[in-house]
Structure 1
Amino acid sequence: MTNPLTRLLDTRGTLLADGATGTNLFAMGLQAGDAPELWNTDAPDRVRALYCGAVEAGSDLFLTNTFGGTAARLKLHDAQDRVRELNRIGAELGREVADAADRPLVVAGSVGPTGEIMEPVGALTHADAVEMFHEQAQGLKEGGADVLWLETISAPEEFRAAAEAFALAGMDWCGTMSFDTAGRTMMGVTSADLAQLVETLPNPPLAFGANCGTGASDILRTVLGFVAQGSERPIISKGNAGIPKYVDGHIHYDGTPELMGRYAVLARDAGARIIGGCCGTMPEHLREMRRALDDTPPGARPTLERITAEIGPFSSASDGTGEDDAAPARRNRRRRRA
């Protein structure tokens, strides 16, 4: 049987994904440092509102509020024993929203990085990573997620561990990395590396691509890098709503709905088939992205010059794939999808 995501791709060709999780939950009252996943049980109506915001804006799929749902991340909030519960309920709330809609929707179970560094650089073993991802995957499966959605990954070792865990859970999946260091992930992975990595996995993802990173221009350059590898798998592009800036004591993303609409069209023309937003992307951005995708006929693949002319300059001169581009030093950094 085909996955609901594959069926929807076959029907629509290009899908609109959702936007930010953290940005929207902060607007609803989530405090910095709190675990959004705890809201699945403590504030379920707000989590439903998060999902409904994307659906009402026109998204074809949305991610569950489970990004930090591994035992390693939940341990920071003394909730490591609630992995199955919090992930199951996060997916159940999504299932409720999707089943009540008047059109087919895909509930994607969000799985973020563990926040730990894997061997041989760090202490996290492959077996422990697989166990943590498997535990989370089982909860999302029990809650009714259609597909698992690995995101914001930097290390190929963690990508492989998650893929193995998802196979153990018997779940289809999608996977994205975050290219935020001159066209590379924090661990030095390039767009070409990821496109090649997914083809080596025993259970490759239904779709792969990039999320988060720096700005919309950079992620489009990364999408072009995926396309250059000739992969026939659907490509995902979930870029931030512009560039983060510190304004009046909080982080503000400067991307307007109009900019994100142009980004969505450019992403489609660049070769992405699943297009959404990440940090800073609110329902008003998604509505304009939906309108732009529906009203703008497909065009030629954009050049780098057209991308910068329409939505702004790249954050670095390099896309990370040149022979002279040195991989960044590995470092430990915890990240939450905002």
Structure 2
Amino acid sequence: MSLLDDLLALNRPLLADGATGTSYFARGLASGDPPELWLTEHPERVKEVHAEFVAAGSDIILTNSFGANAFRLKLHDMQDRVFELNRRAAELAREVADAAGRPVAVAGSVGPTGELFAPLGAMTYDDAVAAFTEQAKGLKAGGADILWIETMSAPEEVKAAAEAAAAVDMPYCFTFSFDTAGRTMMGMKPTDVPALGAELPGRPVAMGGNCGVGAPDLLASMLAMREAAPGAVLIAKGNCGIPQVHGDHLEYSGTPELMADYARLAVDCGVRIVGGCCGTTARHVAAMAEALAGHEPGPPPTIDEIVARLGPTLMKHAHDGEAPAGRTRRSRRRD
């Protein structure tokens, strides 16, 4: 059992954090620089970001280790620092979580390698398992409660990361990122996710989606996933509106009010863990926390209802050849 299991046993929606990258850019991280460098160069800023999300109400904070695998770190000649950086990422988050005065789970962020598996690319399955295992060892040593495998596209990569979690005896969850075709870049559909979870070693604590396109699209994916596996613990970590270029930086269109409504709708879609991805600041998370505190879960919304409240979807469909799940009202309510 993990701390995340304990929090889920409270039988209320859990609130994850927002966008780490967005928060770092606001504090001076230069475009193209790896945020993992701040773990040793500016640890106080890393802790400040974690603390802001905890103060806003987050039950779960993700470590600054999304790209801290050997493949990504090699781009910055830092591939020999995998264990060090992951351990430090977990230690900094752990310090903030332990000072919160309430249970806050530290989720060790594990992002994709950025490589393609053979024969499309040069990476083998064993290469991926080795890279994720090295990362997982550092996160465990630093005090992470769970591995948070996120923004994935290929099922093989999730399997490799899950095998790494099993190798170091850590609980884990995983999320995929879906594009405008309603699939991941490597063709995974939301309805495929629960079946993959059943094949993975150990027991994923939760599964779901993050990033991709807008929050309405992510909720369409959640409806499809929930329909495929009504009893699954689902995660939704949606982007904060649509990115817009302003000079040399991006700003996201989502307001705190929009993200609050997204959080309420996510719970109605059957999501147990709600958070924000790109563009989501502590202000947005605070609004989400307030919305969840006063929300009584309702029946699953239709796609039309989601669009009316959050804006248009960009996905063509949520799964093969069918209208997006939830377009018509189902008689079955939340489990």
Deviations 1:229-283 (A, max 9, x none): 1242210000000011112232111000000000000000100000000000000
Contact 2:70–2:79 (Cα < 8 Å) also in 1? yes
Deviations 1:135-155 (A, max 9, x none): 000000000000000000000
Letter in 2 for 1:279: C
Contact 1:153–1:177 (Cα < 8 Å) also in 2? yes
Q: Which residue of 2 aligns with 1:91?
A: 90
Question: Per-residue deviation at 1:201?
Answer: 1.4
Q: Which residue of 1 aligns with 2:282?
A: 283
User: Helix, strand or coil: the match of 2:271?
Assistant: coil
User: Helix, strand or coil: the match of 1:82?
Assistant: helix
What does 1:52-63 align with in structure 2 at a 5 Å threshold? 52-63=51-62
What is the RMSD computed on CA atoms of the aligned residues? 1.3
Q: Which residue of 1 aligns with 2:192?
A: 193
Deviations 1:166-200 (A, max 9, x none): 11011000100000132100011000111211111
Q: Which residue of 2 aligns with 1:304?
A: 303
Distance 1:231 1:202 in 2: 21
Letter in 2 for 1:5: L
Q: Which residue of 1 aligns with 2:112?
A: 113
Question: Per-residue deviation at 1:106?
Answer: 0.1
Contact 1:40–1:86 (Cα < 8 Å) also in 2? yes
Contact 1:244–1:252 (Cα < 8 Å) also in 2? yes
User: Helix, strand or coil: the match of 1:117?
Assistant: coil
Is 1:270 aligned to residue 282 of structure 2? no
User: Helix, strand or coil: the match of 2:113?
Assistant: coil
Extract structure 1 runs of 4+ deviating beyond 6 A: none
Contact 1:163–1:204 (Cα < 8 Å) also in 2? no
CA pair 63-161 structure 1, distance change in 2 beyond 3 A = same
TM-score by length of 2: 0.94
Q: Which residue of 2 aligns with 1:334?
A: none
Contact 1:116–1:124 (Cα < 8 Å) also in 2? yes
Contact 2:179–2:315 (Cα < 8 Å) also in 1? no
Gaps of 5+ in 2: 325-335
Distance 1:109 1:10 in 2: 21
Distance 1:318 1:294 in 2: 32
Is 1:171 aligned to residue 170 of structure 2? yes
Gaps of 5+ in 1: 326-338
Distance 2:160 2:229 in 1: 25
Letter in 2 for 1:292: A
Distance 2:72 2:180 in 1: 24
Question: Per-residue deviation at 1:323?
Answer: 6.6
Deviations 1:190-232 (A, max 9, x none): 0011121111112231000000010010000000011011242
Contact 2:64–2:89 (Cα < 8 Å) also in 1? yes
Distance 1:230 1:71 in 2: 34
Distance 1:193 1:122 in 2: 23
Question: Per-residue deviation at 1:306?
Answer: 0.5
Letter in 2 for 1:246: V
Question: Per-residue deviation at 1:295?
Answer: 1.3
Q: Which residue of 1 aligns with 2:206?
A: 207
Contact 1:195–1:231 (Cα < 8 Å) also in 2? no
Q: Which residue of 2 aligns with 1:67?
A: 66
Tell me the percent identity: 55
User: Helix, strand or coil: the match of 1:77?
Assistant: coil
Q: Which residue of 2 aligns with 1:330?
A: none
CA pair 265-245 structure 1, distance change in 2 beyond 3 A = same
Distance 1:256 1:21 in 2: 17
Q: Which residue of 1 aligns with 2:156?
A: 157
Distance 1:142 1:239 in 2: 29
Contact 1:261–1:292 (Cα < 8 Å) also in 2? yes
Contact 2:317–2:323 (Cα < 8 Å) also in 1? no
User: Helix, strand or coil: the match of 1:273?
Assistant: strand
Q: Which residue of 2 aligns with 1:232?
A: 231
Letter in 2 for 1:286: V
